[in-house]
């Protein structure tokens, strides 16, 4: 199936063709016809599956057919995203699709001053892409009026709940007209999502292409069991094998990610870091340099787990395992974009075995081992004993890091890492809601 069979206008088909996009992804094939028919849509799909076009194309199609000029402060369409990076990606993607039309877009996020955003809204925009917190700030200043909004999109709704935006969403819901079309997209379905769906959606069509928690099939996953002190040396050894390709390295904390970026820079890599202590300008410049290839390695916290869509990313490293299992799938979803292949490599220290168990349980799959062995003294997970292998490597491909299998052995087992055999290691951090990125 191709886009021209989904009912989109020739103008949008031409815009897609100019970018070399002809074949819709499964979520686009399922969602676009319902959205074009005016139905509310609840979409369940993993990051990297093409959700932006799934909701953006039918919305643009409807707005383009109605040539009404945008009114000051009053967006005709509102798209909410949990992070600045994701909001920027959505804005830029839709701006490309809408190029040459009468539709004007605005981006409203934190990290920048209010005045330029207020002035932009006063000139009138058709499509507003915003993070919930900053949108509420502008609503309080009476700089945005949602009373005539015709289209609403909630993207990555599960992460908005994780980040504590539930109260902002409730407030926004009361300001929107009931006569509108709403689309909600999420990678997972926590219990609280039912409340959000009931508040925003009316008789929605539910479309789902991947079971929640399942990674994209074209990502080859591997894990190295390695002592914490040996992680950096192993990372450098693996990065050396593809210096000319883009890689994202995920850490858990802001301080740890900044320190790791400095270590990689001292090792001769073109590297940048993004995390919550960076200003929005610094984060935007780092991503732009990464996108252009001026920076080859991006070290990030989970602020980059969703919202970076760069097709040339070939490698994702989980230097620290996330303490929210679903974030693992979102992290590795930064690779294998737009139908490409990618590799995701995770490091597991003795005190991260609990996180690994939870990740494999959430994915209902075990991650193939590239080097080392599960640390002694930590019970095997139920997922490991009964799960299928996760995305076996393609035929003829060797395991990355095979030459580094000595590292966990050199670092020693659980005992040499300060965890006597038979003793369960202390958890690396609180479970549940992640620390601020």
Domain boundary among the residues 208, 235, 254 is at: 208
- Residue 378: pLDDT band (50, 70, 90) is low
Model pLDDT, residue 35: 97
Q: Which tokens go with 11?
A: 């103008």
d(CA 349, CA 356): 10
Q: Identify whether residues 373 and 393 lie together within a single domain.
A: yes
CA–CA separation, 86 vs 254, rounded Å? 19
Mean pLDDT score, 131-135: 95
Q: What percent of the chain has pLDDT over 90?
A: 56
Residues 36 and 173 in one domain: yes
Residues 199 and 225 in one domain: no
**Average pLDDT value for residue range 320-341:** 83
Partners of 342 in the beta sheet? 219
What is the structure's pLDDT at 14?
92
Better-predicted residue by pLDDT, 381 or 348: 348
Alpha helical stretches, state H, 71-113: 84-97
Instruction: Tell me how far apart the alpha carbons of residues 289 and 271 are, in angstroms, rounded to a whole number.
Output: 9
- pLDDT at site 214: 58
- Structural domain count of the chain: 2
Residue 406: pLDDT over 90: no
| Residue 428 forms part of a structural domain | no
- The phi, psi pair for 281, rounded to 5°, reads -60, -45
DSSP string, 271-294: EEEE-TTS-HHHHHHHHHHHHHTS
Q: Does residue 424 fall inside a structural domain?
A: no
Res 398 pLDDT > 80: no
- Confidence at residue 437, expressed as pLDDT on a 0 to 100 scale: 42
Kindly state the average pLDDT of the residues 346-371: 93
The stretch 338-363 carries a mean pLDDT of: 90
Dihedral angle at the C-alpha atoms of 295, 272, 156, 333, nearest 10 degrees? Answer: 50
Please indicate, yes or no, whether residues 160 and 280 belong to a single structural domain of this protein.
no
From 187, 208, 229, the end of a domain falls on 208
Does 202 lie in the same domain as 248?
no
208, 239, 266 — which closes off a domain?
A: 208
Instruction: Write out the residue range of the structural domain in which residue 261 sits.
Output: 219-411
pTM of the full structure: 0.66
* H-helix or E-strand spanning residue 28: helix 26-36
Let me know whether 245 and 314 are in one domain: yes
Residue 348: inside a domain, yes or no? yes
φ and ψ at residue 46, rounded to 5 degrees: -75, 160
Lowest mean pLDDT among 43-47, 180-184, 399-403: 399-403
Most confident of 184-193, 361-370, 395-404: 361-370
pLDDT digits (tens, 9 = 90+) for 264-303: 999 999 999 998 888 878 888 998 899 899 999 999 998 7
Among 41-45, 146-150, 157-161, 364-368, the range scoring the smallest mean pLDDT is 157-161
**pLDDT tens per residue across span 198-222:** 889 999 999 987 665 555 667 899 9
Q: What mean pLDDT, rounded, does the chain reach?
A: 83
Residue at 395 is within a domain: yes
In a domain, 416, yes or no: no
Q: Is residue 213 part of a domain?
A: no
**Same domain (yes/no): 295, 188:** no
Same domain as 353, residue 304: yes
User: Which pLDDT value is given to residue 407?
Assistant: 39
At residue 238, does pLDDT exceed 50?
yes
Residue 22 pLDDT: 83
Give the pLDDT mean for 222-227.
96
User: Do residues 268 and 136 share a domain?
Assistant: no
DSSP letter at 76 equals S
> b/e for 103-135, b at 16 or more Cβ within 10 A?
bbbbbbbeebeeeebbebbeebbbbbbbbbebb
pLDDT at 326: 81
Is 61 among the domain residues? Answer: yes
- 52 plus 155 within the same structural domain: yes
Give dist(CA 148, CA 358) in Å, integer. Answer: 44
What is the pLDDT, as a whole number, of residue 150? 95
* Mean pLDDT lowest among 111-115, 167-171, 230-234, 396-400: 396-400
What average pLDDT does this structure show over 337-366? 89
Kindly state whether residues 261 and 402 are assigned to the same domain.
Answer: yes
Measured at the CA of 225, the angle between CA 318 and CA 407, to 5 degrees, comes to 110
Contact 83/280 with Cβ under 8 angstroms? no
* Phi and psi, residue 346, nearest 5°: -115, 145
Note whether residue 435 is domain-resident: no
For the domain that residue 283 is a member of, what is the CATH number? 3.40.50.300
Residue 249 shares a structural domain with residue 380: yes
Q: What is the pLDDT of residues 78-94, one digit of tens each?
A: 999 998 888 998 999 99
Mean pLDDT of 351-374: 92
């Amino acid at each position: 199936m191709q886009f021209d069979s989904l009912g989109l206008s020739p103008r949008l088909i031409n815009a897609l063709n100019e970018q070399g996009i002809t074949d819709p992804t499964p979520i686009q094939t399922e969602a676009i016809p319902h959205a074009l028919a005016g139905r509310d849509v609840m979409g369940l799909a993993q990051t990297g599956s093409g959700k932006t076009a799934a909701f953006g194309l039918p919305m643009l199609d409807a707005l383009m057919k109605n040539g009404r000029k945008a009114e000051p402060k009053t967006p005709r369409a509102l798209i909410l995203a949990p992070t600045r990076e994701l909001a920027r990606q959505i804005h830029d993607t839709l701006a490309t699709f809408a190029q040459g039309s009468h539709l004007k877009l605005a981006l409203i996020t934190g990290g920048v001053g209010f005045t330029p955003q207020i002035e932009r809204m006063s000139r009138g925009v058709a499509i507003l892409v915003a993070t919930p917190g900053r949108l509420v700030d502008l609503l309080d200043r009476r700089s945005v009026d949602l009373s005539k909004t015709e289209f609403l999109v909630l993207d990555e709704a599960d992460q908005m709940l994780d980040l504590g935006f539930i109260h902002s969403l409730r407030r926004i819901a009361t300001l929107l007209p009931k006569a509108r079309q709403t689309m909600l997209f999420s990678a997972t379905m926590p219990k609280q999502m039912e409340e959000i769906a009931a508040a925003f959606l009316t008789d929605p069509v539910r479309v789902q292409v991947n079971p929640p928690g399942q990674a994209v099939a074209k990502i080859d996953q591997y894990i190295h069991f390695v002592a914490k002190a040996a992680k950096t040396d192993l990372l450098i050894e693996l990065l050396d094998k593809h210096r000319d390709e883009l890689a994202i390295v995920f850490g858990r904390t802001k301080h740890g990610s900044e320190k790791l970026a400095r270590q990689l820079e001292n090792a001769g890599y073109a590297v940048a870091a993004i995390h919550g202590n960076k200003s929005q300008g610094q984060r935007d410049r780092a991503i732009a340099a990464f996108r252009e290839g001026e920076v080859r390695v991006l070290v990030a916290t989970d602020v980059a787990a969703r919202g970076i869509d760069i097709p040339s990313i070939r490698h994702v490293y989980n230097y620290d395992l996330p303490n929210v299992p679903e974030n693992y799938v979102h992290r590795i979803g930064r690779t294998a974009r737009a139908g490409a292949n990618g590799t995701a490599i995770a490091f597991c220290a003795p005190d991260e075995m609990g996180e690994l168990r939870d990740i494999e349980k959430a994915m209902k799959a075990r991650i193939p081992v590239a080097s080392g062995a599960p640390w002694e003294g930590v019970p095997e997970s139920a997922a490991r004993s009964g799960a299928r292998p996760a995305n076996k490597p393609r035929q003829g491909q060797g395991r990355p890091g095979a030459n580094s299998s000595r590292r966990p052995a050199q670092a020693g087992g659980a005992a040499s890492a300060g965890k006597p055999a038979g003793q369960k290691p202390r958890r690396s951090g609180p479970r549940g809601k992640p620390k601020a990125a």
